[in-house]
Amino acid sequence: MQRTSPACAGRRTGAFAAAIAAAAVLLLPACDSAGPERDGGQPSVPPAAADIGCAGNGKLLASGSTAQQNALEYWVEEYERACPGVQISYRPLGSGAGVAQFLRGATVFGGTDSALKPGEVELSKEVCPGGRAIDLPMVGGPIAIGYQLEGVDDLVLDAPAIAGIFDARITTWDHPDIRRLNPGTELPSVPVLPVHRSDESGTTQNLNAYLSGAVPRQWPYPKEKAWQGRGGQSADGSDGVAAAVLASNGAIGYFELSFAEAGHIDTVRIDTGASEPVGPSAENATAGLAAAEVTGTGNDMTMRFDYGTSEAGAYPIVLVTYEVVCDTGNQKQTLPALKSLLAYMAGEEGQRALPELHYAPLPGNVVEQVREVIATLS
């Protein structure tokens, strides 16, 4: 867990409250300008240019996934501090917009929580002369189910209950299916207010994939970036969903763990059939990711997850954010800086920071392959 000073925590909470009132939430990065703290409570030392391997100069434009927003904010700050010749602009517009902008040639990479579709790969040949776009996994982590329910600070749900909540079949918090999973907990008879993403999102696609994989009869919907369930409220981006959950008693939504931590939002523990329900954490997400396998061809590193895992301590709703880049045909003027930045993100320095930011580092065998592919980009 990230250690946060009272002053920093106050600023985060205040920022959330003000943003909700303005209907435009921006989650703040960690207040300590030195970044996440390491073991023993000592702040991290900003990496030197030699540690990062700075190369090239100029401005890198990128956009996409809000799931990796907080990790990118940290990485960009650290990289620019060590490599002042490079400026990086990452706009967290959602996975769909990130892929679309990359395919228009507007950005040097796009962030997405779901791998490119065959049609998108074909389109990418227009912006990757002589090559194609590939998916490079970079950030792992749990999709937290966050809720606000007065008097209840520990809540267990399973896949059927989550599907029922987000498909408007479970409409009050004292529903028998929820009571069964929470014996001894006094559940109020207040409406369930599910909140989903209004924009196309890889986070949504991964939740759709989890539910359709774990309980296909209760969730007979395609694994799309657009929301599939019935009813509920919608909000733009993970930050918007988090803000909507904070705004209403009885609300429940889904977003990356870093957004739950920043907003001090209670999260659901999931009954997977293991001996104990599993909560979202970097460690539990890494255990969930360990069962994933790389299924992409060539230099593409698309991964496939086991959403039905019942391994002890393995959190089942996980995602990997991919950086979409050209394998060949990248812009020559920005290629050195692009490779340098990606190598830092996938390197030991960049991955080591992730748990303190409430993300999960990639499994060792996967991140080694990512580094090898980055070195070949041209």
Any idea how long the chain is?
A: 378
Q: Rounded to an integer, what distance in angstroms lies between the CA atom of residue 94 and that of residue 78?
A: 23
Distance in angstroms (rounded) separating the CA atoms of residues 291 and 282: 15
Q: Is 221 or 26 the better-scoring residue by pLDDT? A: 221
Mean pLDDT of 125-150: 96
* Confidence (pLDDT) at 349: 92
Task: Using alpha carbons, select from 163, 149, 159, 156 the residue that is nearest to residue 180.
Answer: 156
Give domain limits for the chain.
6-140+321-376, 143-287
Mean pLDDT score, 209-227: 93
Beta bridge partners of 234: 196
Reported as half-sphere exposure (CB side, CA atoms, 13 A), residue 269 has a value of 17
| Range with lowest mean pLDDT among 4-18, 130-144, 157-171, 194-208 | 4-18
pLDDT-based confidence at 135, cuts 50/70/90?
very high
pLDDT of residue 36: 56
Which residues share a beta bridge with 194?
252
Instruction: Provide mean pLDDT across the span 149-164.
Output: 97
pLDDT tens figures, 1-44: 333 333 333 333 344 434 333 333 333 333 333 445 443 344 45
pLDDT tens track for 284-297: 988 888 778 899 99
Q: Count CA within 13 A, CB hemisphere, residue 235.
A: 25
Pairing status of strand 318-326 against strand 133-147:
antiparallel
What band does 230 get if pLDDT is binned at 50, 70 and 90?
very high
Report the relative pairing of strands 266-267 and 193-197 from DSSP bridges: unpaired
pLDDT digits (tens, 9 = 90+) for 297-327: 999 999 988 777 788 888 999 989 999 999 9
Instruction: Calculate the average pLDDT of the chain.
Output: 87
Q: Which fold has domain 143-287?
A: D-Maltodextrin-Binding Protein; domain 2 (3.40.190)
Task: State the pLDDT at residue 375.
Answer: 97
Q: Which CATH architecture has domain 6-140+321-376?
A: 3-Layer(aba) Sandwich (3.40)
Counting residues of the chain whose pLDDT is more than 90, the rounded percentage is: 69
Mean pLDDT, range 84-111, rounded to an integer: 95
Fold match between 6-140+321-376 and 143-287? yes
Round to whole Å and give the CA distance between 23 and 343: 37
Which pLDDT tens digit goes with each residue over 336-354? 999 999 999 999 999 999 9
